[in-house]
Structure formats: structure tokens, C-alpha cells
């Protein structure tokens, strides 16, 4: 609970109040010798998961988890091309390569509210960013990727394959909204 409270500012969790202890649950990961403590947030179906490794008394890591986003149909939006359609593999493979050479074009795959992945292209390649729940958990790809790699990452994100999560991401410090 102390970790969740201390992260309220950096993660931009507005008006967070500590839940009743009965709402907090823990699960041990035998494979990684870690205790995962799920703390509900004031945002519907969202949790802060504190990760305690090797019996440590304090959490070493954390992540935001939007379980509600897992049950929404992801949408692909590309305003420059007038696109607003389901984010499936066919649509992603069609529209994303077209961003190259369009300096103001971008695309967003929205899972729910503040949970999304976005991409734009420039001469260096395709630049990806993703956000989990709030601007305080906004990340960008460590380096530009090719059109083919961008499509693969976006398909993974939209189709719940999770390979995208294994790519190197850097946290961005965005101003509070």
C-alpha cells in the first residue's frame, strides 16, 4: 500500500484512496520467486501490481495493469487517412506501412481510455509509444524500427500475443493532464 501511495504522483493516479485490505490480494510466482501484490485503483478494472522478489521486505518493481482493456475490441485510428476501424491483423498490415512518407500521419490502437499504442514514421523509421492507464505510465520504443517490425509489434499488441511487451521500452516523463 505504501508503494502504491508513493507512486500516485509519478503515475498520475488522481484522487487515489487506499482500498480496504480485503480488496488487495497476493500471488506467489514460483518460477521467478516473486510475490505479486495486486492493489485495486480508483480506475475501474485497473490494478497496481507490486513485485517483491526473493523475499524482499519492499517492492523492487511495479506495473499498472488494465484488465478491462483485455475485454475491449481494439480500434485502429489514423486521422490522416480517415481510418477508424477494428485493429485486426489485416487492417494493421494495410494501413501502417502507408505512414512512411506522410510526415503528419500517425496511427493509434486504442484498447480502452488511457491504454493504447501509437506509431508515426519519419526518415529514421517507425517510432512506437504505448501507455498503460495514465500518462505517468507512457513508454516509447528504445529505437526506431522498420515498417515490418512496427506491423509485427502492433499486431502483437492488438491481437493479445504480448511479444510487444518483450521489446525494449523507455519510460517518458509526460506532463500531468
pLDDT (tens digit, 9 = 90+) per residue, 46-94? 888 888 888 788 888 888 888 888 888 999 999 999 999 999 999 999 9
C-alpha–C-alpha distance, residues 4 and 93, integer Å? 39
C-alpha–C-alpha distance, residues 119 and 5, integer Å? 32
pLDDT value of residue 19: 79
Mean pLDDT value of segment 123-139? 93
Among the residue ranges 34-43, 124-133, 144-153, the one predicted with the least confidence is: 34-43
Phi/psi of residue 117, nearest 5 degrees: -130, 140
pLDDT (tens digit, 9 = 90+) per residue, 111-128? 998 899 999 999 999 999
C-alpha cell at 42: 480508483
pLDDT value of residue 168: 94
Distance set, CA 59 to CA 6, 19, 68, 128 (Å): 12, 18, 24, 29
More confident residue, 100 or 20: 100
pLDDT value of residue 65: 85
Find, among 34, 30, 25, the residue nearest to 52 by Cα: 34
* pLDDT at residue 177 tops 70: no
pLDDT (tens digit, 9 = 90+) per residue, 141-150? 999 999 999 9
Total-model pTM: 0.82
pLDDT value of residue 9: 65
* pLDDT at residue 132 tops 70: yes
Sequence-separated (6 or more) residues with CB below 8 Å from residue 18: 1, 4, 5
Residue pair 13/177 in contact by the 8 Å Cβ criterion: no
Count Cβ neighbours within 10 Å for each residue of 7-35 and write b for 16 or more, e otherwise. bbeebbbeebeeeeeeebeeeeeeeeebb
Amino acid at each position: 500500500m505504501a508503494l502504491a501511495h508513493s507512486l500516485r504522483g509519478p503515475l498520475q493516479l488522481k484522487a487515489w484512496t487506499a482500498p480496504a485490505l480485503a480488496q488487495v490480494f497476493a500471488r506467489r510466482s514460483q518460477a521467478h520467486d516473486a510475490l505479486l501484490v495486486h492493489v485495486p485503483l480508483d480506475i475501474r478494472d485497473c490494478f497496481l501490481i507490486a513485485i517483491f522478489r526473493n523475499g524482499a521486505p519492499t517492492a523492487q518493481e511495479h506495473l499498472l495493469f488494465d484488465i478491462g482493456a483485455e475485454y475491449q475490441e481494439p480500434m485502429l485510428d489514423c486521422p490522416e487517412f480517415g481510418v477508424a476501424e477494428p485493429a485486426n491483423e489485416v487492417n494493421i498490415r494495410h494501413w501502417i506501412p502507408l505512414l512512411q512518407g506522410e510526415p503528419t500521419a500517425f496511427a493509434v490502437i486504442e484498447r480502452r481510455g488511457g491504454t493504447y499504442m501509437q506509431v508515426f514514421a519519419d526518415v529514421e523509421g517507425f517510432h512506437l509509444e504505448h501507455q498503460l492507464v495514465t500518462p505517468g505510465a507512457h513508454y516509447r520504443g528504445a529505437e526506431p524500427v522498420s515498417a515490418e517490425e512496427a506491423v509485427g509489434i502492433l499486431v502483437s499488441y492488438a491481437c493479445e500475443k504480448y511479444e510487444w511487451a518483450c521489446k525494449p521500452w523507455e519510460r517518458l516523463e509526460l506532463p500531468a493532464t
